Amino acid sequence: MAADRRGKAETLALRRRLLSDSCRLFYPEDPIKIVRGQGQYLYDEQGAEYLDCVNNVAHVGHCHPLVVRAAHEQNQVLNTNSRYLHDNIVDYAQRLSETLPEKLSVFYFLNSGSEANDLALRLARQYTGHWDVVVLDHAYHGHLSSLIDISPYKFRDLDGQKEWVHVAPLPDTYRGLYREDHPNPAGAYASEVERVVNSIQEKGRKIAAFFAESLPSVGGQIIPPAGFFQEVAEHIHRAGGVFVADEIQVGFGRVGQHFWAFQLQGEDFVPDIVTMGKSIGNGHPVACVATTQAVARAFEATGVEYFNTFGGSPVSCAVGLAVLDVLEKEQLQAHAASVGSFLMELLRQQKAKHPIIGDVRGTGLFIGVDLIKDEATRTPATEEANYVVSRMKENYILLSTDGPGRNVLKFKPPMCFSVDNARHVVAKMDAILTNMEEKVRSCETLRLQP
Q: Which residues bind ligand PLP (CB under 6 A)?
A: 112-114, 117, 140-143, 213, 246, 248-249, 277-278
Between 142 and 362, name the residue whose CB sits nearer to ligand PLP.
142
Between 19 and 427, name the residue whose CB sits nearer to ligand PLP.
19
Between 149 and 213, name the residue whose CB sits nearer to ligand PLP.
213
> Could you tell me the smallest distance in angstroms from the CB atom of residue 233 to ligand PLP?
19
Report residue 22: phi and psi, to 5°: -65, -20
Residue nearest to ligand PLP (CB): 113
Across 335-431, the runs of DSSP E, i.e. the strands, are: 357-363, 366-371, 397-398, 400-402, 408-411
Question: CB count, 10 Å around CB of 231?
Answer: 20
Between 194 and 213, name the residue whose CB sits nearer to ligand PLP.
213
For residues 145 and 160, the answer to whether their CB atoms sit within 8 Å is no
User: Which of 151, 113, 406 minimizes the C-alpha distance to 279?
Assistant: 113
Rounded alpha-carbon distances, angstroms, from residue 426 to 38, 388, 395, 420:
22, 12, 12, 10
What is d(CA 312, CA 66) in angstroms, rounded to the nearest whole number? 19
State the Cα angle at 165 between 162 and 167, rounded to 5°.
Answer: 120
Between 116 and 188, name the residue whose CB sits nearer to ligand PLP.
116
Q: Which residues, in sequence order, are bridge partners of residue 289? A: 108, 275
> Could you tell me the smallest distance in angstroms from the CB atom of residue 138 to ligand PLP?
11
> Could you tell me the smallest distance in angstroms from the CB atom of residue 87 to ligand PLP?
26
Between 207 and 248, name the residue whose CB sits nearer to ligand PLP.
248
For residue 388, give the amino acid letter. Answer: V
CB neighbour list of residue 81: distance below 8 Å, 6 or more residues apart: 307, 308, 309, 310, 312, 313
Buried b (16+ CB within 10 A) or exposed e, 43-57: bbbeeeebbbbbbbb
Rounded alpha-carbon distances, angstroms, from residue 197 to 97, 121, 188:
31, 18, 14
> Could you tell me the smallest distance in angstroms from the CB atom of residue 213 to ligand PLP?
5
What is d(CA 75, CA 67) in angstroms, rounded to the nearest whole number? 12
Between 176 and 277, name the residue whose CB sits nearer to ligand PLP.
277
Between 142 and 358, name the residue whose CB sits nearer to ligand PLP.
142
408 alpha-carbon distance from chain centroid: 14
Rounded alpha-carbon distances, angstroms, from residue 189 to 38, 152, 186, 271, 320:
42, 18, 5, 18, 36
Between 306 and 342, name the residue whose CB sits nearer to ligand PLP.
306
For residue 33, give the amino acid letter. Answer: K
What is d(CA 111, CA 309) in angstroms, rounded to the nearest whole number? 9
